[in-house]
Structure 1
Amino acid sequence: MSKNPSVHEKFGEQIPFCEPYWYQGGASPYYHEGHKKFRATLRKFVEEELRPNVDKWIKEGYPKNLHERAAELGINGVMYPKKYGGHQPDDYDPFYEIILYDELGRIGGGFVMGQIFINGIGLPPVVNAGSEAMKKKVLPDVLGGRKACALAITEPTAGSDVANIRATAVRQGDHYVVNGIKKWITGGAMSDYLTTAVRTGGPGLGGISLLLIETNLPGVNIRKMPTAFDTAHNTTFITLEDVKVPVENLIGEENKGFKLIMSNFNHERFMFAAEAIRKARLCYEEAIKYALQRRTFGKKLVEHQIIRIKLAEMARQIESLQDNLERIAFQFKHAPWDQKEFGAQCALLKVNSSRILEFCAREAAQIFGGNSIVKEGKGKIVERIYREVRYYAIPGGSEEILLDLAIRQAASVGLGSKL
């Protein structure tokens, strides 16, 4: 290894662009020995314990106790303080999270271990604004893999338009009585807690609060929704009928939940991008390996210039996304997740990630040809990822909403007033 500490030893696949540049001996100012150890633990877990079972778990759902195994390895709660049962290393920074979702993305679709991602969007409001009693009750079990937490914001009539949610929470003594519907809630069927947006006040963003709702309470009904993509996890439809939630389950202050939700989105969009980049890279890896073997018209596919151009365009966009992702991570390393000025950057990052994933999935499918339209054989990973593209383009803020958000923020600065 080079004496320069920023130059890294080689790890994983060494065909160029199949792994991030620092896996292939590239120099980086961001990654250190702690990151490398964490990466090695994840790679071993994914290769030995997850990937061999993906096809089975897509049909049956993956076993919940895998999260306890992940906790044993220090994976499940790497972002959270040890005093609450997390596994945050002393040298923790957001690059650990990039490694987490990047390596889990190597599973090859199907959302095995998807609850780690869902916990990552359901727990931050509890960590940032929940009472000490709430943290001590919820975090150790979730971070230990024994329980799970989902984020329940979206409704049939309010997706990205969070300010218009209709689920109500009416205070009656020491309880709130909650009524409403939540839709497209990923992880609902596996979760024991729902970080739930409810209307406790008047119309608009000023009347929204966050409540932690335990899924075993009477009146909570959860059903799995079929989706366009195969999944070992679950997307759910939740009805809340006269659910009595203790007042102490309020997260933060009453009628001030909208700000908590918005600040949580920056982190969520960063997570989406960290996961999407590996799936895009996996499309490239599967495609170039196939092109090196498959022969058409007397040549290997990779000997056809048009195929090389497709691969080059995939690699170009993936590497630009890697740089974009790491630049945002570096900003977050030195400032809070919820800083308003990062909103536009995270919005553009997520759009970049979903569009680059869509491009790579399409081009990989073209290279695989007929093998990319069946759920078996050499092209099954590309086929599976192709059907997952919309999951990255819509949840967490649709591309159109996020592009508009970025420029509205920019224009507001230029105008000196909110647009």
Structure 2
Amino acid sequence: MAPAKRYTLEQVAAHNKEGDLWIVVNNDVYDLSRFADLHPGGAGVLVAPDIAGTDCTAAFFSLHRSDVLAKYAGLKIGHLDVGPADDRQPPYLVPAPGALSPAPHAEPDWLVPSFRSPYYAPSHHALQQAMRHFFDSEVRAEARAHELSGERPTQKLVELMGRPEWAIHQMRMGPGRHLHGLTLPGGVRGEDFDYFHELVVIQEMCRVGAPGYMAGLQAGMVIGLPPVLNFGDDKLKARILPDVFAGKKFISLAISEPHAGSDVQGITTTGTLSPDGKHWIVSGMKKWITNGHFSDHFMTAVRTGPRSLTMMLISRADDEGAVDTRKIKTSYSAAAGTAYVFLEKAKVPVENVMGGEGNGLKVILSNFNHERWVICCRIARYSRLMYEETWKWAHLRKSQGKRLIDHPVVRAKLAKMIYKIDMGQAWLENITYQMTHMSYAEQSTTLAGPMALLKTFLSRAGAEISSDCVQIWGGRGLTQGGMGALVEQFQRTYKVSDSGLAVPRGFGTVVLTRPDTFALQFDSILGGSEEVLADLGVRQAMKRMPQAVL
């Protein structure tokens, strides 16, 4: 390969007019002669005297993310000839795919080379490196584009994630027999996969920074497939799991309804047994179903009697035309495929009932603890990403002749972000460690309260971090696209609420919110509202209070 050409600033300065236009960004030389008229801001921006033929690095990074450089890499013609005695500002650090961020506190402590953690083994580090490279190289560009366009994830990418050498869909379901026999990324044996491995996968996905799109990447599976894994028979598993894990089929959780919300006592979707006893005939409507618009299967809450709720798997292919869907516009990207689901006398084989007729509530509640833990992993990582974006912006943006980072009020806001983020990650890792030493049943009884309090802390911290980030970013923190795009997304989407899942007090709480209504990654209501979970955490502690302690 021929060495890259090098140009002096004087040579670049000679190309400073329309039709013959060069610029320097980050010590790289770009020929924009043919691109100027295609520039979204118009050619006039580029032919301005302080841009055309100059080193406009500072101006570029005040308006654009480094992703733009990768998008237009084809316009690069060489490098700036910089000598050893050059006193110009060194180039900005542009992240390379798969690399750790050099920004302080941008990575959790266990990934910082000089830090140590008792929780993570070499296999966790190996998996993290593989996942970081995969999501940076294969997912990030599509995710950012589709987040804005509202297009669903491409089938090619979803199936790539499901290939045996990646097995990302399987890993998102947590430890279990469904991973046994697999060699996972980083050389991790499926039998050795634990909750810290799962935490790695979840948090690396979140770094992509596209909440609606990421919900479109099989978020419905994460909440809709556990009943099949936990309650389905071998025949049903053999029919459903391979295609979902391969990314060829999608599954959604369908509980919420237009009138009942997620109040299971008010569910009106009804099933009646066919005369021959072989099928349930189901009619009704579900609403706010994540991935619903393109899902093939629906794990559906159905009323099968006055006081009987049953969970059953309803597939489009089982009764063509009986299942229909329509997209719903929400506050975040349509890439998630949030939808209405219409059921018109759908024939559901009796073997598709999960856990037995009338045991629907048991099936619904069985995955709550793990589900809330997944939400905690996501909030913790996305809050850290927002801090990282803001930290870098504070070093770049100048106000009143000084960088934002040089203002004490800005440093105070960043300090609060750092201690909230690191506190949340430390608490999350402690809970995760307990999970690795408990059975699923023990987790449900012992960790329900601590998990509820952890989620309350993380969601409230996320809200405060979001607010402080926007204050530092100003108008850019409220603008879709551009430098503050991720901050705007977080501010807009973290608190889209759903209507809550009401269950009898005998199950330990009055309202247990379901994620199938919006499935936002950073929701203060998703998985249980802050108020309800805070109360749940205290009431769980009350149960352990000995009578004689005064």
1:64 matched residue in structure 2 = 155
User: Given that residues 110 and 117 in structure 2 are in contact (C-alpha distance below 8 angstroms), is that contact kept between their aligned partners in structure 1?
Assistant: yes
1:118 matched residue in structure 2 = 220
State the TM-score, normalized to the length of structure 2. 0.70
Task: Classify the secondary structure of the residue corresponding to 1:138.
Answer: helix
2:528 to 379, 397, 413: 397
User: Given that residues 167 and 245 in structure 2 are in contact (C-alpha distance below 8 angstroms), is that contact kept between their aligned partners in structure 1?
Assistant: no
Q: How does 1:355-366 map to 2 (within 5 A)?
A: 355-366=460-471
Name the CA shift for 1:35/1:314 in 2 (closer, same or farther; >3 Å). Answer: same
Amino acid at match of 2:167: G
Q: How does 1:307-318 map to 2 (within 5 A)?
A: 307-318=410-421
How far apart, in 2, do the equivalents of 1:361 and 1:406 lie?
Answer: 25
Q: 1:201 Cα deviation (Å)?
A: 3.0
Name the CA shift for 1:361/1:86 in 2 (closer, same or farther; >3 Å). Answer: farther
Q: 1:74 Cα deviation (Å)?
A: 2.7
1:189 to 293, 312, 321: 293
Per-residue CA distance 1:142-174 (angstroms, 9 max, x = gap): 111111211112223444533443322221210
Larger displacement relative to structure 2 (380-389 or 390-399): 390-399
How far apart, in 1, do the equivalents of 2:450 and 2:266 lie?
Answer: 25
Q: Which runs of 5+ in 2 are unaligned?
A: 1-97, 496-519
Q: How does 1:203-352 map to 2 (within 5 A)?
A: 203=307, 207-216=308-317, 217=319, 218-338=321-441, 339-352=444-457
1:202 to 282, 291, 306: 306
Amino acid at match of 2:284: G
Name the CA shift for 1:374/1:306 in 2 (closer, same or farther; >3 Å). Answer: same
User: Given that residues 109 and 388 in structure 1 are in contact (C-alpha distance below 8 angstroms), is that contact kept between their aligned partners in structure 2?
Assistant: no
Q: How many residues align?
A: 404
2:41 matched residue in structure 1 = none
Amino acid at match of 2:238: K
Q: Which runs of 5+ in 1 are unaligned?
A: 1-9
How far apart, in 2, do the equivalents of 1:348 and 1:257 lie?
Answer: 26
Task: Classify the secondary structure of the residue corresponding to 1:111.
Answer: helix
1:4 matched residue in structure 2 = none
Amino acid at match of 2:193: Y
Q: 1:86 Cα deviation (Å)?
A: 9.8
Q: 1:345 Cα deviation (Å)?
A: 2.1
Task: Classify the secondary structure of the residue corresponding to 1:284.
Answer: helix
2:242 matched residue in structure 1 = 140
State the TM-score, normalized to the length of structure 1. 0.90
How far apart, in 2, do the equivalents of 1:70 and 1:209 lie?
Answer: 32
1:375 matched to 2:480? The reply is: yes
Larger displacement relative to structure 2 (304-313 or 58-67): 58-67
Task: Classify the secondary structure of the residue corresponding to 1:281.
Answer: helix
How far apart, in 1, do the equivalents of 2:451 and 2:262 lie?
Answer: 15
1:27 matched residue in structure 2 = 116
User: Given that residues 379 and 459 in structure 2 are in contact (C-alpha distance below 8 angstroms), is that contact kept between their aligned partners in structure 1?
Assistant: yes
How far apart, in 2, do the equivalents of 1:276 and 1:53 lie?
Answer: 22
Q: 1:321 Cα deviation (Å)?
A: 1.0
Task: Classify the secondary structure of the residue corresponding to 2:268.
Answer: coil
1:3 matched residue in structure 2 = none
Amino acid at match of 2:473: F
User: Given that residues 377 and 428 in structure 2 are in contact (C-alpha distance below 8 angstroms), is that contact kept between their aligned partners in structure 1?
Assistant: yes
How far apart, in 1, do the equivalents of 2:531 and 2:181 lie?
Answer: 38
User: Given that residues 160 and 398 in structure 1 are in contact (C-alpha distance below 8 angstroms), is that contact kept between their aligned partners in structure 2?
Assistant: no
Task: Classify the secondary structure of the residue corresponding to 2:330.
Answer: coil
Task: Classify the secondary structure of the residue corresponding to 1:325.
Answer: helix
User: Given that residues 180 and 190 in structure 2 are in contact (C-alpha distance below 8 angstroms), is that contact kept between their aligned partners in structure 1?
Assistant: no
Identity of paired residues, percent?
37
Amino acid at match of 2:406: E
1:39 to 110, 128, 137: 128
Per-residue CA distance 1:324-343 (angstroms, 9 max, x = gap): 21122122212233423322
User: Given that residues 99 and 132 in structure 2 are in contact (C-alpha distance below 8 angstroms), is that contact kept between their aligned partners in structure 1?
Assistant: no
How far apart, in 2, do the equivalents of 1:196 and 1:152 lie?
Answer: 5
Amino acid at match of 1:108: G
Q: 1:405 Cα deviation (Å)?
A: 2.7
Name the CA shift for 1:154/1:411 in 2 (closer, same or farther; >3 Å). Answer: farther
User: Given that residues 109 and 385 in structure 1 are in contact (C-alpha distance below 8 angstroms), is that contact kept between their aligned partners in structure 2?
Assistant: no
User: Given that residues 347 and 403 in structure 1 are in contact (C-alpha distance below 8 angstroms), is that contact kept between their aligned partners in structure 2?
Assistant: yes
Name the CA shift for 1:314/1:262 in 2 (closer, same or farther; >3 Å). Answer: same
Q: 1:231 Cα deviation (Å)?
A: 4.2
2:8 matched residue in structure 1 = none
1:178 matched residue in structure 2 = 282
How far apart, in 1, do the equivalents of 2:314 and 2:343 lie?
Answer: 10
User: Given that residues 129 and 252 in structure 1 are in contact (C-alpha distance below 8 angstroms), is that contact kept between their aligned partners in structure 2?
Assistant: yes
User: Given that residues 219 and 291 in structure 2 are in contact (C-alpha distance below 8 angstroms), is that contact kept between their aligned partners in structure 1?
Assistant: no
Q: 1:110 Cα deviation (Å)?
A: 3.6
How far apart, in 1, do the equivalents of 2:139 and 2:348 lie?
Answer: 37
User: Given that residues 86 and 143 in structure 1 are in contact (C-alpha distance below 8 angstroms), is that contact kept between their aligned partners in structure 2?
Assistant: no
Name the CA shift for 1:410/1:169 in 2 (closer, same or farther; >3 Å). Answer: farther
Q: Higher RCO, 1 or 2 (CA under 8 Å, sep at least 6)?
A: 1
How far apart, in 2, do the equivalents of 1:396 and 1:180 lie?
Answer: 24
2:540 matched residue in structure 1 = 409
Task: Classify the secondary structure of the residue corresponding to 2:325.
Answer: strand
Q: 1:19 Cα deviation (Å)?
A: 0.7
Q: 1:398 Cα deviation (Å)?
A: 2.2
How far apart, in 2, do the equivalents of 1:240 and 1:33 lie?
Answer: 49
How far apart, in 1, do the equivalents of 2:211 and 2:490 lie?
Answer: 8
How far apart, in 1, do the equivalents of 2:219 and 2:342 lie?
Answer: 23
Name the CA shift for 1:121/1:231 in 2 (closer, same or farther; >3 Å). Answer: same
Task: Classify the secondary structure of the residue corresponding to 1:90.
Answer: helix
How far apart, in 2, do the equivalents of 1:329 and 1:163 lie?
Answer: 33
1:101 matched to 2:225? The reply is: no
Name the CA shift for 1:353/1:190 in 2 (closer, same or farther; >3 Å). Answer: farther
User: Given that residues 212 and 332 in structure 2 are in contact (C-alpha distance below 8 angstroms), is that contact kept between their aligned partners in structure 1?
Assistant: no
User: Given that residues 230 and 384 in structure 1 are in contact (C-alpha distance below 8 angstroms), is that contact kept between their aligned partners in structure 2?
Assistant: no
How far apart, in 1, do the equivalents of 2:390 and 2:525 lie?
Answer: 25
User: Given that residues 110 and 232 in structure 1 are in contact (C-alpha distance below 8 angstroms), is that contact kept between their aligned partners in structure 2?
Assistant: no
How far apart, in 2, do the equivalents of 1:413 and 1:176 lie?
Answer: 43
How far apart, in 2, do the equivalents of 1:256 and 1:214 lie?
Answer: 20
Name the CA shift for 1:273/1:260 in 2 (closer, same or farther; >3 Å). Answer: same
